[in-house]
Structures are given as C-alpha cells and as structure tokens.
Amino acid sequence: MRRRMGKLLPLFAWGSTLTLLAAIMTIAGYLLVEGMPALDRTLIFGDTPPLAALLLRRPVFGGLLPAIFGTIALVVLAVAWAIPLGVASGIYLAEYATTTAKRLLDPAFDILAGLPSIVVGLFGFAVTVFLNRHFSAALHPCLLVSSLALAFLVLPYIIRTTQTALEELPPAIRMTGPALGASRLQNIRMVLLPQALPGIASGVILAIGRCAEDTAVIMLTGAVAAAGVPRSLLSQYEALPFYIYYISAQYTDAKELATGYGAALILLAICLALFGLAFWIRKGLDRRALAHF
C-alpha cells in the first residue's frame, strides 16, 4: 500500500502541475486568439495621432490610452502606499512584537487578507462620503481614494510575506550582524532585510497583480467609463479592469467584445512589465549590496 502511494503521489503532483500549466496556457492562448485581431492603433489611440496622445496634447476618444495610464497610475500609487506600511508592519511583527501582540495581530491581518474586495471598496466609498460631508466638498471618489483603498486591500500580502521572510531566516544569519557589533536596527537594515528581499519582492509582485486586476474596489471609489487621462490625484480616471468588465457586460456586437479581449491582453502586458520592473529593482538592490565602498 505504502509502495503504491509512493508511486501515486509523484504522479498526482506531476498531474496537478501539468493541469495548472495547461490552464494557464489555455487562458493565455484564448486571450491571444480572441484579442490579437482587435489589437491595433485605433484600439489604443482612437482617432488621435499617437504622438499627440502620448504627449497629452490631444484627448483620446474611443481608445484605451486613458485606461492604460489610469491603470498604471493606480497600481504604482497603491503599491507605493502599501510597501512602506506593509514592510514596516512585517518588520514589527517579526522583530519587535511580543508574543501577546502577535497573538492579537496575526488573526487580525488574516481577517484583513480575507476581506472581499467589494467590502473594501464600500468602506473606501463610505469614508469618502463622510469626509466630503464633514470636511471638504472637494473630496469625492477619485484616483487617490481608489489607490488608498487598493493599498488597504493588498497590505496583508506585503505584511505577511515580509514577516515570513524575516522569521524564516536561520539563526546563523540572524546572529551574524550582532556578532560583529551591529545594533538591532543596523542588523535589520543591513543584514536581515537584504537577506529577506526575495520573499518581500514576491509579496510586492502579488500585490501588483492584485491591484491591477481588482474591479470591485475601483468601481466604488473613482473609476468611470470616460474620464480621459487623470490629471491629478483628485481626478476620476479610467482603468483597464473596469473597461473589461464594462464591455463584457454591455457589448453590442462581436467587434466590441473583441476590444475587451484586447484590453485584457494589454492588462496582462502591463502586469508583466510591472513584475519585470519589480525584479529589476530587486536586482538593482542586490547589486547595490555588492557594491564596493
């Protein structure tokens, strides 16, 4: 029996991996087949000349450029809010928190990670309405609110990955800095964080993907169907996930639906580019660590 299990388990593991790989290939292939025909200059720039559109000299109507700019701005802003807060909280949990504090905070962050995004969106919307009524009428759903709500959504990923990456460092590495005279802060900054960087980077990559795909949060906090390229943090904006949702729900003909697939392909490309950027920054940090004084 045990021998049979010993043969079956690797087979099952291989089968599962292959199924997953096949699913990914199928989705990517399907998107390519359906979306590629729609991918042309008009899909992105509409009738506006590309250079004038890219330099923001002329507005783009009927093209995805505002949604592309909106998505990139949204993801970059959300991750920029979430990284410092998330990494700092992860460091606190791994390096400073007492057992009691951990016992209280660990489940709290787990619950936060499990919050449905529509609830986070609703919370962001409610806070904005409250601030609008009681503090400033200038505050309304906009890019800033969406990015803050998304940051709140992805914070648990960054906190958890930072905490785990630090906690899993072996004692020998943990003691290297102090053995050479490093203070606790120096040890965290100069030894532990650089060693934990790959783990933290995987949390950031997860966060990027989550920010780029989320529709529920942005629907309630500032994304609209037609707003043009966002000019400030307080502008409403267009975003690719919202466009994909909108088109797939409201399309009138196959050509219009194909633009949704095209938008999905562009969204995937943006995600890949942002993942690449995250890897590149990580490599850069590694190189800096190696740099000669």
Residues at the contact surface with another protein, assessed by CB under 8 A: 171-183, 186-187, 190-191, 194-195, 286, 289-293
CA atoms of 117 and 120, how far apart (whole Å): 5
Nearer residue to another protein within complex by CB, 277 or 289:
289
* Nearest distance from C-beta of residue 8 to another protein, angstroms: 37
* Nearest distance from C-beta of residue 180 to another protein, angstroms: 4
Nearer residue to another protein within complex by CB, 150 or 192:
192
* Nearest distance from C-beta of residue 157 to another protein, angstroms: 24
CA atoms of 193 and 207, how far apart (whole Å): 19
Helix pair angle (2-35, 254-290), 10° resolution: 120
Neighbours of 154 (CB within 10 A): 28
* Nearest distance from C-beta of residue 201 to another protein, angstroms: 14
Nearer residue to another protein within complex by CB, 32 or 179:
179
Nearer residue to another protein within complex by CB, 41 or 103:
103
Nearer residue to another protein within complex by CB, 191 or 264:
191
Kindly list the distances between the CA atom of residue 177 and the CA atoms of 166, 172, 181, 200, 236, in Å, as whole numbers in the listed order. Answer: 14, 10, 7, 20, 48
Specify the DSSP element, H or E, that contains 170.
none
Q: Is 62 helix (H, G, I), strand (E, B) or coil?
A: coil
* Nearest distance from C-beta of residue 86 to another protein, angstroms: 23
